[in-house]
Amino acid sequence: MSEYDGPSHWRWRDGPIGGGPAVIVDVDGVISDGNNRQHLAQARRWDEFFAGCPDDPPLEATVALVGSLAADLTVVLLTARPWHLLSDTLGWLKMHEVRWDLLILRPPNSGGPSRAYKATEVDNLRHHGFDLLYALEDDPRNVEMYAGADVPCVYVYSGYYDR
């Protein structure tokens, strides 16, 4: 592991990229449709909620949008999914042929709100040399965080945060 690899919880699809223009894409509610298990999130039944992730259908429009981005952009999937979902998430991305270069899940023993974790990763990505062009995100709290961090954010409506 060298500094070029980035933090130890980062997973590269085809090996490390040293920086350059990048787009951040959230997973749940942006490229993956977990709408049918939002009742578990509302009830804070997190183990059952996350157990359903592998079976979620893709959100075809955003998967196609990400696939159509310029080839020289690095696609960073930044999700607050817990670390134990890494292999399920990798399998899901492969099954649905999602374009991505770097996958970031919450590292083991990471606590606190999603927006604080994602803000830290924004700092990590910039430190690594990425120029963050914009983010796709469905959680209004993260949209606000990106605005505060000078990352232009495209809000994707999932309906998850209406309830």
Stretch that binds Mg ion, among 23-31, 68-76, 83-91, 117-125 (CB under 5 A): 23-31
Question: Of 22, 23, 24, 26, which one interacts with Mg ion (CB under 5 A)?
Answer: 26
- From residue 78, how far is each of 45, 56, 60, 104 by CA, in Å? 22, 17, 18, 5
Question: Of 32, 49, 62, 138, which one interacts with Mg ion (CB under 5 A)?
Answer: 138
Q: Does 56 bind Mg ion (CB under 5 A)?
A: no
Q: Does 29 bind Mg ion (CB under 5 A)?
A: yes
Q: What angle do CA 32, 148, 42 make, to 5 degrees?
A: 40
Question: DSSP label at 28?
Answer: B
Shortest approach of Mg ion to residue 139 CB, angstroms? 5
Q: How many chain residues touch Mg ion (CB under 5 A)?
A: 4
Stretch that binds Mg ion, among 18-26, 58-66, 68-76, 96-104 (CB under 5 A): 18-26
Question: Of 17, 24, 28, 156, which one interacts with Mg ion (CB under 5 A)?
Answer: 28
Q: Does 121 bind Mg ion (CB under 5 A)?
A: no
Instruction: Please give the full DSSP string across 119-159, using - where no structure is assigned.
Output: HHHHHHHHHHTEEEEEEEE--HHHHHHHHHTT--EEE---S
Q: What angle do CA 32, 36, 38 make, to 5 degrees?
A: 90
Report helix, strand or coil for 32: strand
Shortest approach of Mg ion to residue 64 CB, angstroms? 18
